[in-house]
Structure 1
């Protein structure tokens, strides 16, 4: 099989997210890193691209040069990943979609709801993929949770509790650290800090697992370090299209919490709980029965979980492998389109532009609610009401 050609914007040397993307995209041998504009410093970006064995004529100085160069080639890239600062996602994603490229954009997809609406409409009009990297949806047992809910194992879902809380911004003395400060600066981060950074991962997880969307919410935000303009802690109650109610806690000042992405789903027939820091175990409690531990890679899991499981049972499986499942899904959809066939249905659940739009609509609704005494607020973007 010929490898798909892959390009990357951002994610250069020293990047937090770049290595996870490169490991994930390369794991199955489905993609070859062919082009890149990897750093805001053109010289550094080109040098790093060469160390990654990208050909000199495809080691670009910036994304505009990359767009022009790849658009003019017969062997242009099949997929581009946008892993740049948040405020640039919309402009870059829009430009590549307009030129007919498939895109995987880091979250948040856009900085505003209006931008999200534009990207959704453009993706639909162009017929191109616009995926959004809610990468934790790639974990095998998260996909098994989704499958269990979809096939009715839990019955009607009543309640979802989601968390993404860490303590890495809890030191007030660190408030002027440039790596921290920008996250609480509206000019760089937008209208929200921890909700837009972490909370939307937990909220997307709730939607992904239950197959429901959020319709309304009530939010309470706090800036526990006083000099911060934007929130570093948030509590959100929400209601969903299928009747489920939800509770979300997100924080950057929870000292002692590390990654802190957890989800619990409670239905008529039982409950599930999973934590990203212990991804190999899913706890399933059928109604009036004892709790069972479902092991990743073990017998009796769903085809969705089996397809996503990559190492033998009992061994650790982490974030880059979850990312690899996102890339494998995209490769299957792109290849199926090239071959004129339907893709494997299990590969079609990758988060898309509509998920990015819904997430940004939830952020804006939470900001509005928190500023109005936690008043219940409509979440769905204008085009979805």
Structure 2
């Protein structure tokens, strides 16, 4: 019988969008058994969520410290092995740190922490822990995003000259209702941190750019905007980027692009060819040739790389999407954990999930783009 990883959730109570997405993702491949949780700062709400999920009432806790303390008192074969942290940003660091210090694996929603200093400290904690760490940058889980990365790193495009990534949303185009829980914490600097749109979706765009291109950003020249009056954090912006190979990048992220949904897209241009992927047609990857017609690669086909094949579940023509991409991150993390537990080296496809380096670089991106956006400097060097 397949051994499931015993996991608890911190956050994800009533009204949480991302909590339920994480729960679906961890269930899709039957890798995890959600057995405990501290779903809300309100014990009553936490109990409501736990009961809806069919958990043992004795393993529904009032807070994360109690959860970890009580679970560690249980026999090793019964206690949790991992936690999924799906709280607002300001509540990421402390539970992740406590879990790692006690040898409990961590799956953490992005962005990793409230500040770069917290992310760097979490990195040090992880280095001294027996536990493993995973960050849920969803979009790197798409099979055709993995194929795009493979095409670039295989040299099929030649030296990369330019990368353009764009993430337009329109859901914050006007002032949000006070009872909109998702908008409330994302526009509150005490909960979201120093960035709004750039922390929420700009980090996804940045992560996708570095993942697909295989290149690190070295400097940023930004304009960060707050369009809606009286909003305390940015809701729009863009940046020119310098890449480590001498190439250039452009990043756009907006939550006030009226009428837009979530059409994240990336284009990569090399010496010999370019490519384009967008979430609205996530099953396709367009290869753009200089002196030949475009070639459209499709998910589920036999000609794709092992990375794209490994992260596909159904044959071509049976669409997969956001939930499956999210689940791929959980699945690869689980496969890697089982391999490490058995003293084996995980397959390279299993290790293809975001980790602590992406966590730290994401926070460095936030601090660099906000710093440059507020200054008169043309460029701000990346701090890592």
TM exceeding 0.5: yes
Paired residues of 1:220 and 1:374 also in contact (CA < 8 A)? no
**Residue matched to 2:37:** 36
Alignment of 1:77-226 (within 5 A): 77-172=80-175, 174=176, 176=178, 178-179=180-181, 180-226=183-229
Post-superposition shift, 1:228?
1.7
Q: In structure 2, what is the equivalent of residue 306 of structure 1? A: 309
| Counterpart Cα distance in 2 of 1:137 and 1:176 | 33
Per the TM alignment, residue 13 of structure 1 is displaced from its structure 2 partner at its CA by 3.2
C-alpha displacement at 1:240, in angstroms?
Answer: 1.8
Q: Given that residues 162 and 261 in structure 1 are in contact (C-alpha distance below 8 angstroms), is that contact kept between their aligned partners in structure 2?
A: yes
| Deviation of the 1:354 alpha carbon | 1.4
2:239 counterpart (224, 236, 240)? 236
Q: Tell me, in whole angstroms, the C-alpha distance in 2 between the residues paired with 1:77 and 1:185.
A: 32
Confirm whether residue 319 of structure 1 aligns to residue 322 of structure 2. yes
Which residue in 2 is equivalent to 1:54?
55
Residues 185 and 28 (structure 1 numbering): CA distance in 2 closer, same or farther, change over 3 Å?
closer
Counterpart in the other structure of 1:261:
264
2:69, 2:178 → 1: CA distance? 38
Q: Matches of 1:131 and 1:48 in 2, distance apart?
A: 24
3-state SS in 2 of match to 1:199? helix
Instruction: Return closer, same or farther for 1:343/1:230 CA change in 2, 3 Å cut-off.
Output: same
> Secondary structure in 1 aligned to 2:370?
helix
- Whether the 8 Å CA contact 1:219–1:374 is kept in 2: the answer is no
Tell me how far apart the structure 2 counterparts of residues 344 and 365 of structure 1 sit (CA, whole Å). Answer: 35
Any conservation in 2 of the 1:105–1:131 contact (CA below 8 Å)?
yes
1:279-358 equivalences under 5 Å are 279-358=282-361
Cα offsets for 1:213-239 (capped at 9, x unmatched)? 111101101111121232111011111
Deviations 1:322-349 (A, max 9, x none): 1111111111111011111111111112
2:250 equivalent to 1:250: no
After superposing the two structures, state which structure 1 stretch, 357-366 or 11-20, moved more.
Answer: 11-20
**Which residue of 360, 365, 382 corresponds with 1:362?**
365
Paired with 1:3 and 1:273, the residues of 2 have a C-alpha distance of 37
For the Cα contact (< 8 Å) 2:108–2:134, is it kept in 1?
A: yes
Offset, 1:61:
2.0
User: How many angstroms does 1:28 deviate by?
Assistant: 1.2
Could you say what the CA RMSD is over the residues aligned between the two structures, in angstroms?
1.5
Distance in 1 of aligned mates of 2:359 and 2:266: 20
Question: Residue 127 and residue 288 in structure 1: after superposition, are their counterparts in 2 closer, same or farther (change >3 A)?
Answer: farther
* Range moving further from structure 2, 36-45 or 255-264: 36-45
Which digits, 9 at most, give the CA deviation of each residue in 1:181-228, with x for residues without a partner? 443332222211100111010000001111121111011011111212
CA distance in 1, matches of 2:113, 2:205: 18
Distance in 2 (alpha carbons) for counterparts of 1:3 and 1:148: 34
The C-alpha deviation readout for 1:156-191, integer Å capped at 9, x for no partner, is 11111011111111124x365553244333222221
- Residues 225 and 234, structure 2, Cα contact 8 Å, conserved in 1: yes
Contact 2:90 2:190 in 1 (8 A): no
Shift of 1:50: 2.4
- Name the CA distance, whole Å, in 2 between partners of 1:14 and 1:168: 17
Residue 378 (structure 1) shift: 1.3
Contact 1:12-1:39 within 8 A present in 2 as well: yes
Inter-partner Cα distance in structure 1 for 2:70 and 2:248 = 49
Contact 1:199–1:250 (CA under 8 A) maintained in structure 2: yes
Give the Cα–Cα distance (whole angstroms) in 2 for the partners of residues 86 and 60 of structure 1. 20
Describe the SS at the equivalent of 1:115: helix
Contact 1:261–1:275 (8 Å) recurs in 2: yes
Q: CA deviation at 1:316?
A: 2.2
The answer to whether residue 378 in structure 2 is matched with residue 375 in structure 1 is yes
